[in-house]
Structure 1
Amino acid sequence: MSVEIDETDRAILRILSRDAALGAAQIGARVGLSQPAAWRRIRRLRDSGVLAGRRLELDREKLGLGVTVFLGIKLAAKGRVALEDFERAVSAIREVARVEHMLGLYDYRLRVVARDLADFERVLRRRIMTLPGVGQVEANVLLSEERRPGPL
C-alpha cells in the first residue's frame, strides 16, 4: 500500500536520514512547521511504515572488524525446506552482517565481517561451508565503500 507523501514529508525524511535523533521542534523549525505539526507528520510517517525505525551506524574498523567480504552462495538443493534450513543456520553466525535472498546466479548474498583475512577464512571454512545445502560459493573482498546520503 502506497502512502501519500508531499514535499514537506520529503524534507522531513531528508532531515531524519541525516540525523534520526533530532526532535520534532528542531525538524519543524527546519521545514517551517510548529513542533506539534512536525510531530504529527513524523508520527504519520512512522504509523504508515515509511519510517521503519532508527539505525545506529558503527565504525567496523574501530571495532576491530577490518575485513568485509560479500559471498555469493548457490545452494546444492532447492526447495522451501532447503531455503529455510539455510536461512536459520546462516542467521546464527555472528560474523554474517546481512543475508539477502537473491534471484540470479546465486541464491543468497552474504555480507560477512571479520577481524582480518585469516579470521574470515576461519569463518568460511568452519561455519559457512558447513551450512546445510551450501553448494557453490564466490567471495568478493570489499576494498572501499562510497555511501550515498540517506537510508535508501
Structure 2
Amino acid sequence: MIALDDLDRALIRALAEDATLSAGALGRRFGLSQPAAWRRIKRLRKAGVFRGQRLDLDQQALGFGVTVFLGVKLATKGRLSLAEFERAVQAIPEVQTVEHVLGMYDYRLRVVARDLSDFERVLRRRIMVLPGVGGLDANVLLSEERRPGPL
C-alpha cells in the first residue's frame, strides 16, 4: 500500500471525475508545475492505484434499457466448479460484472439487455445453462442514484 498525502488524494478525486485531465491542467488546479503533477501521477500509476482508463458508456443510448442483478447459487461447490462457472459466465457479453460473494448466493451478476424479453432470452439460453447453476434470484434496476466514484 502506498502512502497518500492530501495532494495525492485530490489528484485521484480529480482524475476519477475526469480521466482526460492533463498533468498541466492538474498542476494548474493544485498549484503544481506540470512536471511535478506528472511525476505524482506516474508514481500513483506505478504503485497500482490506477487500474486503467475506460469510457463510461450510456447504456440507454446504446439500446440497453434493462439492467438486472442476478443472485446465482451454484448446485455444487468446489474449486473446479467455481472456476468452470467463472470462465463460462465471462464469455457472455450481456454480463457486465461477475462478483463472487459471501451470503445467500455464490455470485452476483450485473446483466444488461435491450428489454425484458431480451433479458429472458439471455437468461434462458445463456445463463440458466451455465455449468453448476443451481438457483437464481433476479432484481431489476429501477434507477441508479449514485454511481461509484472515488473512495
The reply to whether TM is greater than 0.5 is yes
Structure 2 counterpart of 1:30 = 29
- Tell me the secondary structure at the aligned position of residue 121 of structure 1: helix
Structure 2 portions without partners, runs of 5+:
none
Judge conservation of contact 2:70–2:109 (CA < 8 Å) in 1. Answer: yes
What does residue range 59-98 of structure 1 map to in structure 2 within 5 Å?
59-98=58-97
Equivalent-residue separation in structure 2 for 1:38 and 1:46 (angstroms): 12
Structure 1 counterpart of 2:138 = 139
Judge conservation of contact 2:68–2:140 (CA < 8 Å) in 1. Answer: yes
- Tell me the secondary structure at the aligned position of residue 126 of structure 2: helix
Measured after TM superposition, the shift of residue 149 of structure 1 is 6.2
- Tell me the secondary structure at the aligned position of residue 52 of structure 1: coil
Measured after TM superposition, the shift of residue 150 of structure 1 is 2.2
Structure 1 counterpart of 2:125 = 126
Structure 2 counterpart of 1:11 = 10
What is the count of residue pairs matched by the alignment? 151
Q: Which moved more, 1:140-149 or 1:67-76?
A: 140-149
Judge conservation of contact 2:95–2:111 (CA < 8 Å) in 1. Answer: yes
TM-score, length basis structure 2: 0.97
Equivalent-residue separation in structure 1 for 2:51 and 2:83 (angstroms): 25
Q: Which moved more, 1:49-58 or 1:31-40?
A: 49-58
What does residue range 97-116 of structure 1 map to in structure 2 within 5 Å?
97-116=96-115
- Tell me the secondary structure at the aligned position of residue 72 of structure 2: strand
- Tell me the secondary structure at the aligned position of residue 104 of structure 1: coil
**Percent identical residues:** 70
Measured after TM superposition, the shift of residue 80 of structure 1 is 0.4
- Tell me the secondary structure at the aligned position of residue 111 of structure 2: strand
- Tell me the secondary structure at the aligned position of residue 38 of structure 1: helix
Instruction: Supply the RMSD in Å over aligned alpha carbons.
Output: 1.0
* Paired residue type of 1:22: L
Q: Which moved more, 1:45-54 or 1:65-74?
A: 45-54
Structure 1 portions without partners, runs of 5+:
none
TM-score, length basis structure 1: 0.97
